[in-house]
Amino acid sequence: MKLPVIKHLTQFIEDNDEDFVVETIETLENLTEVPSLKDEELDVIGELISNMYGALEVHKMVKDGTPKKEALNSFMSRVLGSIDK
């Protein structure tokens, strides 16, 4: 996951609508079922999907009243914390 990408996607959700990101995730998840995709291609799609889910999570925290910067930092801390375990 990349914080700049999540930040950008969070801004996109604020400017537009989270449904665009949700539908994109569904499309990318469906695309992973193509049998001819290489591992590297699946890795890229997986990274995009995880960044989009991260942006949705940050957006939810902001909607619940958390300041955006704090929501981004909190989310990334949780991600990094789960990797270290």
Q: Taking phi first (over 0 means left), then psi (-120 to 50 degrees means alpha), and beta for anything else, what does residue 25 get?
A: alpha
Helix (H), strand (E) counts: the chain: 4, 0
What band does 24 get if pLDDT is binned at 50, 70 and 90? very high
Residue 84 confidence (pLDDT): 57
Question: Are the beta carbons of 9 and 51 closer than 8 angstroms?
Answer: yes
pLDDT of residue 16: 96
- Report the alpha-carbon distance of residue 20 to residue 30 in Å, rounded: 15
Indicate whether 76 pLDDT > 90.
no
Q: Give pTM, 2 decimals.
A: 0.89
